[in-house]
């Protein structure tokens, strides 16, 4: 792994981050699921040549019109930079160092961008899979979901050396706002912090709505009041988001352990424990909230869920 002069800008004198536009950069996207596919299409709309790959035949079939590689190895050999958008650290490791992974490529990509939420400690281990390769590493988990990926309004929490981030800023910026958090791994730490806040507010909101319903409070009026006062937050303005997301997961057969409210909260608990931090609220949310969302998704669709899907 390096932050040297590899990459498409090394020979041309132009880098993907210059004001004059990006050069002829081929972007590989490994993982064409709910987030990966709209990311790939957004990059293509921004003018990048995009090549995709997914081990799931259904995901490949959904990528109609997108050029596909036959393996991660082929993706790595043909792309200048590979964006990894898979479910967890295990899948990310397979992409990096599996039998047909990036590390097996005869010509590795100039850069790898790990967009999967794997946590800062796993990121360090994953980056080591490419040690000794002339490959830049960036961690850039995102927030905003598939709709934000489609319209290029994701919030990217980016970690890496300033030189490397600048070298690959153009394809990152095509997806949304680039927030540079610090060195490699800082992006993952920032995403974990984001998930702690997000799922914490979602959990408390559901309890508040339950109290309101049991007390005969008009829920639409309550949400309007909350959004106009000190309790305003993204969760209040999208009260049914997670329930709608859980329904989509159920429809596509996503294993509960790979759902963000389970996976990311486990990562948050592990990250705080590894740093001897006391995080009792996150621990409680991790233990009770995910199962509650999974069960709620199996009930008849609620008005809040329907309203959330309209945003």
- In sequence order, which ranges of 155-279 are alpha helices (DSSP H)? 162-167, 169-173, 186-214, 219-227, 234-237, 241-252, 260-274
**What is the Cα–Cα distance from 128 to 183, expressed in whole angstroms?**
15
**What is the Cα–Cα distance from 197 to 231, expressed in whole angstroms?**
13
- Name the catalytic one among 78, 191, 263, 295: 191
E strands in the chain = 26-30, 49-53, 81-84, 111-114, 136-139, 142-143, 154-159, 176-182
- Catalytic residue check, 191: yes
Handedness of CA 171, 177, 183, 187 (dihedral sign): negative
Q: Which residues are catalytic?
A: 191
């Amino acid at each position: 792994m390096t932050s040297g002069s590899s990459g498409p800008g090394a020979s041309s004198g132009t880098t993907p981050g210059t004001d004059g536009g990006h050069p002829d950069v081929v972007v590989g996207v490994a993982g064409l699921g709910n987030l990966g596919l709209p990311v790939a299409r957004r990059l293509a709309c921004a003018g990048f040549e995009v090549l995709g790959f997914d081990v799931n035949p259904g995901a490949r079939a959904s990528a109609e019109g997108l050029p596909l590689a036959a393996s991660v190895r082929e993706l790595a050999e043909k792309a200048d930079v590979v964006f990894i958008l898979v479910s967890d650290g295990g899948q990310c490791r397979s992409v990096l160092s599996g039998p047909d992974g990036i590390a097996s490529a005869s010509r590795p990509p100039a850069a790898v961008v790990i967009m999967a939420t794997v946590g800062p400690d796993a990121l360090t281990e994953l980056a080591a899979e490419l040690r000794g390769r002339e490959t830049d590493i960036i961690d850039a988990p995102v927030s905003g979901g598939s709709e934000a990926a489609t319209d290029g309004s994701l919030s990217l929490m980016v970690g890496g050396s300033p030189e490397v981030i600048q070298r690959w800023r153009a394809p990152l910026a095509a997806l949304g706002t680039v927030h540079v958090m610090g060195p490699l791994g800082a992006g993952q730490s920032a995403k974990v912090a984001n998930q702690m806040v997000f799922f914490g507010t979602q959990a408390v909101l559901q309890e508040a709505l339950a109290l309101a319903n049991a007390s005969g409070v008009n829920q639409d009026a309550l949400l309007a009041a909350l959004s106009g006062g000190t309790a305003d937050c993204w969760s209040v303005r999208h009260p049914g988001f997670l329930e709608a997301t859980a329904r989509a997961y159920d429809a596509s057969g996503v294993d509960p352990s790979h759902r963000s409210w389970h996976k990311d909260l486990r990562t948050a608990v592990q990250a705080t424990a590894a740093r001897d931090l006391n995080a009792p609220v996150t621990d409680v949310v991790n233990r009770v909230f995910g199962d509650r969302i999974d069960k709620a998704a199996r009930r008849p669709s609620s008005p809040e869920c329907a309203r959330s899907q309209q945003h």
